[in-house]
Amino acid sequence: MEVNEGEVVLDIIHRLQATQAPDMAVRWNCKAGKCGSCSAEVNGVPRLMCMTRMSTFAEDEVVTVTPMRTFPVIRDLVTDVSFNYEKAREVPAFAPPADLKPGEYRMQQVDVERSQEFRKCIECFLCQNTCHVVRDHEENKENFSGPRFLMRIAELDMHPLDVADRVPAAQAEHGLGFCNITKCCTEVCPENIHITDNALIPLKERVIDRQYDPVLVPLAKIFRRNKKN
């Protein structure tokens, strides 16, 4: 294919559509790295096609574009990402204290800044596609929400006005224990969100605090014993 200066992989896919394969399916929207639609694997590396410059490849290099591997293919480069929407629905919404009315919410700037990073997510699902827990293990999908949604749980758990107890469910229902902090999700995030360091590891620390706290653990045991009696 002809390649012009400044072009990205998505331009070449569009040229292929226009000249050789008019029925080729590809999902895209903004061509600016903001809608998260054009996720694919370019030479096996999960990337946004609209943000991958052709100048990063040698002139005679064969560039292979394939659909995201973790999700079922609908057609050509378009995958069925409904797994992610199902997992999103399983995370309970922000739960402010019942006695606070809208307009009365107050939080420190430091707390705003902490969650700001996570809010940059464009839901491209490249992290979900890359995580080895589900990439080659269809059987884990049921019990693992993936980095994007574990990050959402961490964000809510760090929110000073969220009163829901999210830590037990993160471990028991969303599969936090599957994550062995390899950071592959972080490496492919086009928004450079530090998913592992700033969300998953702090969430794991909260689970460990809860399980091994020298005061809380004996209290919980006594409480359980009394309940049985």
Kindly list the residues in this chain that would bind ligand FES in the complex (CB under 6 A): 28-31, 33-38, 48, 50
Tell me which of ligand SF4, ligand FES, none is bound by residue 179, counting a contact when its beta carbon lies within the kind-specific cut-off of 5 to 8 angstroms.
ligand SF4
CA distances (Å), 187 to each of 125, 160, 204, in order?
Answer: 13, 29, 19
Q: Is 170 in the site for ligand SF4 (CB under 6 A)?
A: no
For ligand FES, give the closer residue by CB, 42 or 169: 42
For ligand FES, give the closer residue by CB, 48 or 167: 48
Angstrom distance (rounded) from CA 121 to CA 145: 16
Tell me which of ligand SF4, ligand FES, none is bound by residue 67, counting a contact when its beta carbon lies within the kind-specific cut-off of 5 to 8 angstroms.
none
For ligand FES, give the closer residue by CB, 117 or 123: 123
Q: Is 201 in the site for ligand SF4 (CB under 6 A)?
A: no
CA distances (Å), 95 to each of 112, 157, 161, 202, in order?
Answer: 16, 10, 8, 20
Tell me which of ligand SF4, ligand FES, none is bound by residue 172, counting a contact when its beta carbon lies within the kind-specific cut-off of 5 to 8 angstroms.
none
- The dihedral region occupied by 62, where left means phi > 0, alpha psi between -120 and 50, and beta the remainder, is beta
Among 185, 198, 204, 206, interactor with ligand SF4 by CB under 6 A: 185
Residues 6+ apart with CB under 8 A from 78: 25, 26, 27, 67
Task: Show the tokens assigned to 87.
Answer: 């997992």
Residues 6+ apart with CB under 8 A from 97: 161, 163
Tell me which of ligand FES, ligand SF4, none is bound by residue 125, counting a contact when its beta carbon lies within the kind-specific cut-off of 5 to 8 angstroms.
ligand SF4
